[in-house]
Amino acid sequence: MFTGIVTDIGEITAIVAAASGGDLRFTIATALRMDDVALGASIACSGCCLTVTTKGTAGGRGWFTVDVSGETVSKTTLGDWKVGRRINLERSLKLGDELGGHLVYGHCDGVGRIVSIEPDGGSMRFLFEASPDVARFVAQKGSVAIDGASLTVNEVEGDRFGVNIIPHTQRETTFGTAVAGQRVNLEVDMLARYVARLIDRRA
């Protein structure tokens, strides 16, 4: 479980494809202290909860590998990742940690798209588009995890919704270099799913 507060921007340094099945192994460079990370630990990688399979340090910088199934590749943006790609990283939540964002599980509900990015005062206004089955759970002033970052929804219109991203978040996440048309991983607030489930049962 995670909070949606990104703690590092990692970089893909190597990708190895399995001989069959569409599985991939990513090597990710990070500023996270890998001596504090156990093998088998979970790290959210741009919103996807992945398991550390090997780890180490090189040139004073930490690195770790994750193995990703073909199913996950097909349901997320991981199939878009290339060497040099920067990704949002967050270690799993510990009991007693501050919950600065909202509860994020690292189980992506779908892939969205950045429709546009426009200045809005001191922030940048991002307009996202989601598939109808995901968009139905996105609510104005509600929370949504986008590429692993906990963000507040400003407005919703159909399958599109807007989010203001402040300069600090731009610096500390990959949104500072995002471009229109880019695909993103989406995870809706679990509370929204439970509410929708209860409403569906009563209908």
pLDDT tens, residue by residue, 113-135? 999 999 999 999 999 999 999 99
How would residue 59 be classed by pLDDT, with cut points 50, 70 and 90? confident
Backbone angles phi, psi at 84, to 5 degrees: 100, -15
CATH class belonging to 110-202: mainly beta
CA distance 106 to 148: 7
Whether 136 and 196 have beta carbons less than 8 Å apart is answered as yes
Whether 4 and 108 have beta carbons less than 8 Å apart is answered as no
Instruction: Tell me the CATH number of domain 8-91, given options 3.90.870.10, 3.90.1150.10, 2.40.30.20, 3.40.50.2300.
Output: 2.40.30.20
What pLDDT is recorded for position 79?
93
Three-state SS for 109? coil
How would residue 93 be classed by pLDDT, with cut points 50, 70 and 90? confident
Please state the domain extents for the chain.
8-91, 110-202
How would residue 191 be classed by pLDDT, with cut points 50, 70 and 90? confident
168-171-177 Cα angle (round to 5): 130
Does pLDDT of 22 surpass 60?
yes
Evaluate the CA torsion angle 148, 153, 154, 155 in order and state its sign.
positive
CA atoms within 13 A on the CB side of 23: 9
Task: Determine if the pTM surpasses 0.85.
Answer: yes
Does pLDDT of 58 surpass 90?
no
Mean pLDDT across the chain, nearest whole number? Answer: 91
